C-alpha cells in the first residue's frame, strides 16, 4: 500500500508533467510520491530517457520512469537483496504488459508516430495535438501504474533468489552506485522486463551518467548533453549499430533464471565493460 499521503491522480500527473517537462521524469516522480519517497536527483536524471532514449524512439519515457520508481519501491520492501532485484524485474514486466495492453505498443516512435530528432516531424506532432495526447497518456498510465506496481510487488508466489538478476543492476553495481540504485536499475534488464526493446543496460548508463554529471553541475540535467550522445555513439559502434536487446543478444530471455545464467556465462560482458567506462563523467578541468 502507499506509504505517504500523496495519491496519484490524473490531474496531478498532468500538473507534474507541465512542471518537469518530460514523460520519464513525470512517471518516476508520480510513482515515487505515491510510495512516499520523493527522490529529486534520481527523477531529474531520467530526463534523457524521454523520447525513447534521448529521442531515438525506443521505449516510451513513461515506462523508463515507472520501472525505475518500481525498483526503488522494491528496494524499500526487500532491501539490498537479489530478491529485491528479481521483484523489480517482475514489476517491470507488469508495467510493460500494462502499456502494451492499453496502447498496443511500448516504443515512443510507434506511440507518437514522431521522429523527435527531425525538426519537421516534431513540428508536425505539435501542430496535430501531440503534446495533449502525451499528457492524456501520462495521466492514464501513471495512475494505473501505481496499482500495477503494488500488485506485482505484493505477489511473492515464485521463488526468485538467484546469484545475479539483471545486466542493468550489474552495471550500476560495477559503477559503484548505492544498493538502492542497483535495485532501481534491475527492471531495465533485457530491454525492460525482458521485452527485447532498447538495451536496459544502455538506459541505465544514460541515467547513471545524468545523475553523476548533475551532481557535479549543481543538480542540473542537460537533456542534450553531448556526453550522453557520445555514449550512444560508442554503444552503437560496439554493437554494430544495434540498440535493441533482442537484436544484440539474438533472442529474448525467458525470465530471471535464464538471464542470470546468460550473465554468469559472460553474456554482454563486453557491452557492460564499455558502458561502465564510457558512462563515467569526464574529469573537471583544473583550468
pLDDT for residue 8: 81
Q: Say which residue the cell 524512439 belongs to.
A: 57
Reported as a single tens digit per residue, the pLDDT across 191-208 is 999 999 999 999 999 999
27 within 8 A of 65, measured Cβ to Cβ? yes
pTM across the whole model: 0.93
Q: Which residues pair with 223 in a beta bridge?
A: none
pLDDT for residue 132: 95
64 within 8 A of 192, measured Cβ to Cβ? yes
pLDDT for residue 163: 62
pLDDT for residue 79: 93
Angle at 194 between CA 193 and CA 197, to 5 degrees: 95
- For the chain, which ranges sit under pLDDT 50? 1-3, 283-287
Q: Say which residue the cell 560508442 belongs to.
A: 234
Amino acid at each position: 500500500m502507499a506509504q505517504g499521503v500523496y495519491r496519484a491522480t490524473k490531474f496531478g500527473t498532468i500538473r507534474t508533467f507541465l512542471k518537469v517537462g518530460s514523460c520519464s521524469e513525470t512517471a518516476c516522480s508520480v510513482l515515487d510520491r505515491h510510495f512516499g519517497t520523493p527522490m529529486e536527483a534520481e527523477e531529474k536524471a531520467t530526463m534523457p530517457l524521454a523520447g525513447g532514449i534521448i529521442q531515438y524512439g525506443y521505449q516510451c519515457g513513461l515506462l523508463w520512469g515507472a520501472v525505475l520508481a518500481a525498483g526503488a519501491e522494491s528496494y524499500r520492501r526487500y532491501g539490498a537483496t537479489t530478491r529485491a532485484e528479481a521483484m523489480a524485474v517482475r514489476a517491470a514486466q507488469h508495467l510493460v504488459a500494462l502499456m502494451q495492453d492499453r496502447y498496443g505498443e511500448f516504443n515512443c516512435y510507434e506511440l507518437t508516430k514522431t521522429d523527435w530528432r527531425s525538426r519537421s516531424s516534431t513540428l508536425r506532432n505539435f501542430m496535430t495535438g501531440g503534446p495533449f495526447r502525451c499528457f492524456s497518456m501520462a495521466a492514464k498510465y501513471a495512475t494505473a501504474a501505481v496499482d500495477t506496481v503494488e500488485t506485482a510487488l505484493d505477489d511473492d508466489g515464485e521463488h526468485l533468489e538467484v546469484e545475479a538478476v539483471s545486466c542493468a543492476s550489474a552495471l550500476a553495481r560495477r559503477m559503484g552506485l548505492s544498493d538502492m540504485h542497483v535495485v532501481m536499475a534491475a527492471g531495465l534488464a533485457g530491454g525492460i522486463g525482458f521485452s527485447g526493446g532498447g538495451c536496459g543496460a544502455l538506459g541505465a548508463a544514460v541515467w547513471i551518467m545524468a545523475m553523476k554529471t548533475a551532481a557535479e553541475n549543481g543538480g542540473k540535467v542537460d537533456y542534450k548533453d553531448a556526453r550522453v550522445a557520445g555514449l550512444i555513439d560508442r554503444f552503437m559502434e560496439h554493437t554494430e549499430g544495434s540498440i535493441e536487446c533482442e537484436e544484440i543478444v539474438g533472442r529474448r530471455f525467458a525470465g530471471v533464471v535464464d538471464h542470470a545464467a546468460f550473465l554468469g556465462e559472460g553474456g554482454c560482458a563486453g557491452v557492460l565493460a564499455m558502458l561502465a567506462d564510457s558512462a563515467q563523467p569526464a574529469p573537471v578541468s583544473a583550468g
